[in-house]
Amino acid sequence: MKRIRRDHKVRKFHQAKWDEPVIFELHRPGERGVVPPGTEATVAAEVGSAEDNIPASMWRRTIPALPEIGQAKVLRHYLRLSQETLGSDMNVEIGQGTCTMKYIPRINEMLIRNPRMTELHPLQDVDSVQGMLEIFHNLDLAMREISGMDAFSFQPSSGTQALLAMASIVRAYHDSRGEGEQRDEIITTIFSHPSQAATAAVKGYKIITLHPDENGFPDLEKLKNVVSERTAGFVVANPEDTGIYNHRIREFTDVVHEAGGVCYYDQANANGLLGITRAKEAGFDMCFFNLHKTFAAPHMCGGPATGALGVTEELKNFMPGPLVDKEDDGRYILRDQTEVSIGKVRSFHGVAQTVLRSYAWIMSLGPDGLKDVAQVAVLNNNYLYHKIVQIRGASAPYVQGRRLEQVRYSWKQLTDETGVTTEDITRRMCDFGLHYWTSHHPYIVPQPFTLEPTESYSKEDLDEYIHALEHISNEAYTQPDIVKSAPHNSTVHRNDESSLDDPKQWCITWRAYLKKTQPELH
């Protein structure tokens, strides 16, 4: 038999393409997907019909125009949509920098499906949920050790909500000291996540944004110029989204503290720091970790997630509550908020499933394993960095040293020389079964892309990603139209986006689409 050649460097991939209708088009009158539990005749005999038991004006006269679809068709439809979704389980997902895409251990997904987890009501008596509270408490203890903070809340259900909670605590803290009116500014950096600035603005603060120095570090002199008696707080990620670690961070927090401000730490980029360095020693009063990034809870298409919020003893009373505490007799309790607490930021105790997943992940790694995570992630990142900057047209602006767990790269040279942009490359990478993201706005680094390889990927995985970028760079220089007209192997071709910003044309639901495209029928 002839030998089968498999020496191509990029994967010959094609995304699933089912040409699937929108679910309303599956409607066939009279079909049913499922029948919910009904009312016993004896119950109905006792109370009468539903309509008899509510005010006449509140009975729905026109039933909702939901489609009628048999169960097998519903299942098939959604399975096809799932197949048309790449997911980090399906690809070498190092292209979503700042988001720490890592392997999701299946055992944890199995554990959270236990009815002793799924069927718990959050208001059950504490004696009936001792196992769950123990998990919350144990994860709190682990997070304290990892960060140096003194207490954690798992109520915020994302990094954004944790940032909001921290900005709220900053406000409550200054209010409690009678300086709430005076301290109306929060300082952040341009390479931070947009939510740092946005959540502080939600809390009514004026935002002061620091731009980096020529090496990409937050500028200490600029910070000194902007701190004042109006400074309420300073929020920063370290490393920032560039992957550059600010080695003078302690000077930054000292400067802010001297001015009376609170320092809070966006640790969404903590993966390369586990067991290496902590928020406390860097001088922070608060920090958060994203359990859905560093601690291996999945991202679930964009949540639910958890932003585990840690504070020092001084700020503990301002935390959202209730917090889980352990009594001397070993019993776990929910301790109510204090008078100065910000109250709550999310209903109940947060997303308990992510708490369980992350606890399980930490228990499966132990202290050595967590430090291995940090080292392997940083090794992977620096290997990738070393290789990427050798690709024609690519560079990594700012300091030319080691980076932590990600790097913000630039295709400026490639764009200047070929006209191919980073957005074009996003679409072309889909053709090889790989996700690639440009970067957060604003594009301070021109034609940016941010890659974060984490510890989950092998050298072979990284090489596959690098080969794909090399391949596309070669295409850009030799046949740029292939890149510009991508995707070619996707579920769909390029969107016509012209209607998305036009109120007369945008269609946010199927019924709006029908009204705007077939107005004669409506």
Partner 1 sequence: MLKEIGLTSMEQLHDAIPDSLKLKREMDLPPAMNEYELRRHIDGLLAKNKHSGDYLNFLGAGCWQHFIPAVCDEINQRSEFVTAYAGEPYEDHGRFQALFEYQSLLAELVDMDVVNVPTFDWAQAASTAIRMAGRITGRKTVLLPRSVDPDKAAIIRNYCTPVMEIQYVDIDQVTGRMDLNDLSSKLNDDTAAVYFENPCYLGIIEDQGAEISELAHKINAVSIVGVDPISLGVLEPPGHYGADIICGDLQPLGMHMNFGGGQAGFIATRDEEKYVMEYPSRLFGIVPTEVEGEYGFGDVAYERTSFALREKGKESVGTQTALWGITAGVYLALLGPAGMQEVGSTIIQKSHYAAKQISRIPGVSLHFENGTFFKEFVVDFNDTGLTVDEINQRLMETGIFGGKDLSLSYPSWGQCALYCVTETHTQADLDRLVDTLRSIVSTS
Residue 309 CA to residue 151 CA, distance in Å, equals 8
Between β-strands 286-290 and 262-266, what pairing exists: parallel, antiparallel or unpaired?
A: parallel
CA distances from 125 to 6, 320, 332, 355 (A): 61, 20, 11, 20
Q: Which of 496, 519, 520, 521 binds partner 1 (CB under 8 A)?
A: 496
Q: Which of 153, 160, 231, 454 binds partner 1 (CB under 8 A)?
A: 160
What 8-state DSSP symbol labels residue 181? T
Q: How far is the CB of 241 from partner 1 (least distance, A)?
A: 13
What 8-state DSSP symbol labels residue 261? P
Instruction: State whether residue 84 is helix, strand or coil.
Output: coil
Name the β-bridge partners of 186. 207, 233
Segment 462-481, which members bind partner 1 (CB under 8 A)?
A: none
Task: Select 178 or 442, whichever has its Cβ closest to partner 1.
Answer: 442
Q: How far is the CB of 476 from partner 1 (least distance, A)?
A: 18
Question: What dihedral do alpha carbons 438, 441, 445, 447 form, nearest 10°?
Answer: 40
Task: Select 117 or 220, whichever has its Cβ closest to partner 1.
Answer: 117
Q: Which of 6, 7, 121, 214 binds partner 1 (CB under 8 A)?
A: 121
Site string for partner 1, 212-231 (x = CB under 8 A): --------------------
Q: How far is the CB of 1 from partner 1 (least distance, A)?
A: 35
Residue 287 CA to residue 279 CA, distance in Å, equals 7
Segment 373-412, which members bind partner 1 (CB under 8 A)?
A: 374-375, 378-380, 382-383, 385-386, 401-404
What is the enclosing helix (H) or strand (E) of 421? none
Categorise residue 341: left if φ over 0, alpha if ψ from -120 to 50, beta otherwise.
beta
Q: Which of 158, 231, 410, 422 binds partner 1 (CB under 8 A)?
A: 158
Mark the segment that binds partner 1 (CB under 8 A) among 3-11, 225-233, 247-255, 258-266.
Answer: 247-255
Q: How far is the CB of 448 from partner 1 (least distance, A)?
A: 15
Segment 261-290, which members bind partner 1 (CB under 8 A)?
A: 272-273, 275-278, 281-282, 290
Residue 147 CA to residue 157 CA, distance in Å, equals 19
Site string for partner 1, 188-207 (x = CB under 8 A): -----xxx-xxxxxxxx--x
Kindly give the interhelix angle for 352-388 and 130-147, rounded to the nearest 10 degrees: 30
Mark the segment that binds partner 1 (CB under 8 A) among 29-37, 229-237, 411-419, 443-451.
Answer: 29-37
Mark the segment that binds partner 1 (CB under 8 A) among 157-165, 226-234, 409-417, 471-479.
Answer: 157-165
Segment 172-191, which members bind partner 1 (CB under 8 A)?
A: none
Contact 97, 450 (CB under 8 A): yes
420 φ, ψ (degrees, to nearest 5):
-80, 130
Q: How far is the CB of 2 from partner 1 (least distance, A)?
A: 34
Segment 58-117, which members bind partner 1 (CB under 8 A)?
A: 58-69, 71, 74-75, 77-91, 96, 99, 101, 104, 107, 109, 111, 113-117
Task: Select 383 or 477, whichever has its Cβ closest to partner 1.
Answer: 383
- Asked, as a colleague might, if the bond just before 37 is cis with ω within 30 of 0, I would say no
The contacts of residue 404 (CB under 8 Å, 6+ apart) are 239, 243, 244, 245, 269, 272, 273, 378, 381
Q: How far is the CB of 228 from partner 1 (least distance, A)?
A: 19
Q: Which of 305, 311, 373, 469 binds partner 1 (CB under 8 A)?
A: 305
Residue type, 130: Q
| Residue 118 is a binding residue for partner 1 (CB under 8 A) | yes
